[in-house]
Amino acid sequence: MTKALRTRPLVLDDPLFPDLKDRIIHKTGLAYYQDKDADLARILAGRLSALGLQGCGAYADCLSGSRGQAEMDELVSELTIGETYFFRHPEVFSALRHSILPEIIAANRESRTLRIWSAGCSTGAEPYSISILLKEHFSAELAGWQAVVTGTDIDKKYLAFASRAQYQEWALRATPEPERSRYFEQTPSGWQLRPAFRKHVSFHHHNLIRDALPNSKLGLQELDIILCRNVAIYFSRDQINDLMNRFHASLNPNGWLITGPAEIGMDRPGGFQPVNLNGLIVYRKSDQPVAGAAPVWTAPVLAYPALQTEPTEPLAQSESLVADVVPTVQETSAEDAASQERELMRLADRGQWVAALGLARRVIERADSTLEARLKAIQVLAEAGDMEQAVQTLKRLLFIDRRCLLAHYHLGLLLSSQGDRRMARKAFMNAYDLAVAQPVDEPVPGGEGLLAGQLADMALLRSKHEDAL
Ligand SMILES: C[S@@+](CC[C@H](N)C(=O)[O-])C[C@H]1O[C@@H](n2cnc3c(N)ncnc32)[C@H](O)[C@@H]1O
């Protein structure tokens, strides 16, 4: 057992832990940790062991001392998860290209300015993807314009990474050739974004909860587009509502707000009009509060990379799978399973996909892994190219529980990525049939808050998409 794991229970039992926790949440705004004591304690145990300190009191003193800010930066880096990649959710980039940017460019013809903000940009894939989009498709229209893309994040390490603009395969998993080589130069240490795409992008440290907004010093005012995707997970409902008001004040009239697909908490933000662009819900600033608007839901655009492999055999409940369903590794601590899940995301995020793959396999083998963790592990397997194990694992899940909605849905995604449209459609319809049989507001097991009605919409949308291809 590592030293950090040994100290974690001590951190949890430390009478000063609650004060330290409050202080950290207050300072960072990361309300996510309000009910994640075990995770926070694990991270603090790691910091204590790195610093050679004993107990929460000593750590609190360190935060107040001369190197307190530097330590807070280190801690924030441990507390955040920066999962991101280029052209994440292609639907968003399609909506920007075909609807949102043409409209803004027409409206700003006189001022000849375009300001786009990627809020919570992590290691920079999102702002750079936008810069690529602008350069590739709007160069002529934007010649002589002041067009800027700003990326901000709470985590200084991510920002330093973003400024280097060098990425590993994992960040480029949705950027196939020949585009990949057009945008990046392959070097021995990774894929270096070409200078033309870095030119108009700048990065700044900014805490969405604590720092001023609008913010003229950082150019975060009179914005045309704000992207704040996959960030609200860290925030409480009150924090989100407050942030929406400050986003509203930072946007130009008719400016756009684009949130992440799974950010249910950010649906129906006041002062914004939801707009449906080919199934993607985005928000346009409106001066009318949108009281009582119909709930909108953006279908999560989970997707696996297209693979050039042979289509997999259709799913069948096979006797030979019986032996497989017995997990080989028996582990007991639910907390450890949760830590492994976080670690899985962390490794994947840092491009250490070989290590992520190993962990994904361990997560799958554990007896006590949650359904969420298993589904995440399956996604890592698929994205790292081990399609066979990904499919096998889904088969196991379905063997154990034929009614596992999300396993059917994920199977549809996998089959779709392999080009097996007929079986993908069937899997989506299986998910749909099971979902509509449940109350619409029934949470889907393993769905992190996803409701049966929402999954039904997503599955139907996906199956129609397969038909339309
Ligand atoms: C999962 S990443 C999302 C990256 C990118 N937006 C995307 O969707 O690909 C979430 C990012 O939000 C950042 N973050 C979390 N809390 C923040 C805060 N209070 N202010 C600014 N950024 C924050 C994290 O550091 C992390 O880089």
Please state the atom number of ligand 1 nearest to the C-alpha of residue 125.
Answer: 9
Q: How far is CA 19 from CA 16, 57, 66, in A?
A: 5, 9, 20
- Work out the pLDDT band at 267, boundaries 50, 70, 90: low
- Measured by CA distance, the residue closest to atom 14 of ligand 1 is 120
Q: Is the pLDDT of residue 295 over 50?
A: no
- Work out the pLDDT band at 296, boundaries 50, 70, 90: very low
Q: What percent of the chain has pLDDT over 90?
A: 44
Q: Is the pLDDT of residue 51 over 80?
A: yes
Pocket test of ligand 1: the residue of 78, 153, 201 to mutate, having most ligand atoms within 8 Å of its CB, is 153
Cα 15 from Cα 330, distance rounded (Å): 33
- Element (DSSP H or E) covering residue 277: strand 272-277
Q: Is the pLDDT of residue 403 over 60?
A: yes
> Residues 388-417: what's their mean pLDDT?
85
Please indicate whether residue 51 or residue 368 has the higher confidence score (pLDDT).
51
pLDDT of the residue at 421: 82
Q: 282 CA distance to ligand 1 centroid (A)?
A: 19
| Homologous superfamily assigned to 319-468 | Tetratricopeptide repeat domain (1.25.40.10)
Q: 56 CA distance to ligand 1 centroid (A)?
A: 26
Please state the atom number of ligand 1 nearest to the C-alpha of residue 211.
Answer: 20
pLDDT digits (tens, 9 = 90+) for 142-191: 999 999 999 999 999 999 999 999 998 878 878 888 999 999 999 999 99
Pocket test of ligand 1: the residue of 152, 204, 231 to mutate, having most ligand atoms within 8 Å of its CB, is 231
- Measured by CA distance, the residue closest to atom 5 of ligand 1 is 121
Q: 122 CA distance to ligand 1 centroid (A)?
A: 5
- Work out the pLDDT band at 263, boundaries 50, 70, 90: low
Interaxial angle between packed helices 37-51 and 55-64, expressed in degrees from 0 to 180 and rounded to the nearest 10:
70
Q: What is the sign, positive or negative, of the torsion defined by CA atoms of 146, 221, 94, 312?
A: positive
Q: 251 CA distance to ligand 1 centroid (A)?
A: 20
Cα 243 from Cα 256, distance rounded (Å): 15
Cα 59 from Cα 208, distance rounded (Å): 25
Q: Is the pLDDT of residue 288 over 70?
A: no
Please indicate whether residue 414 or residue 116 has the higher confidence score (pLDDT).
116
Please indicate whether residue 219 or residue 359 has the higher confidence score (pLDDT).
219
- Work out the pLDDT band at 103, boundaries 50, 70, 90: very high
pLDDT of the residue at 348: 58
Please indicate whether residue 393 or residue 299 has the higher confidence score (pLDDT).
393
pLDDT of the residue at 93: 93
Instruction: Please state which of the ranges 106-110, 367-371, 450-454 shows the lowest mean pLDDT.
Output: 450-454
Q: What percent of the chain has pLDDT over 70?
A: 81
Q: 155 CA distance to ligand 1 centroid (A)?
A: 8
Architecture of the domain made up of 90-285:
3-Layer(aba) Sandwich (3.40)
Q: 231 CA distance to ligand 1 centroid (A)?
A: 5
- Measured by CA distance, the residue closest to atom 26 of ligand 1 is 82
- Measured by CA distance, the residue closest to atom 2 of ligand 1 is 82
Instruction: Show the DSSP H helices in 29-124 as ranges.
Output: 37-51, 55-64, 68-79, 90-95, 101-107
pLDDT of the residue at 226: 98
- Around ligand 1, the residues with Cβ closer than 6 Å are 29-30, 80-84, 88, 120-122, 126, 153-155, 158, 207-209, 229-231, 234, 260
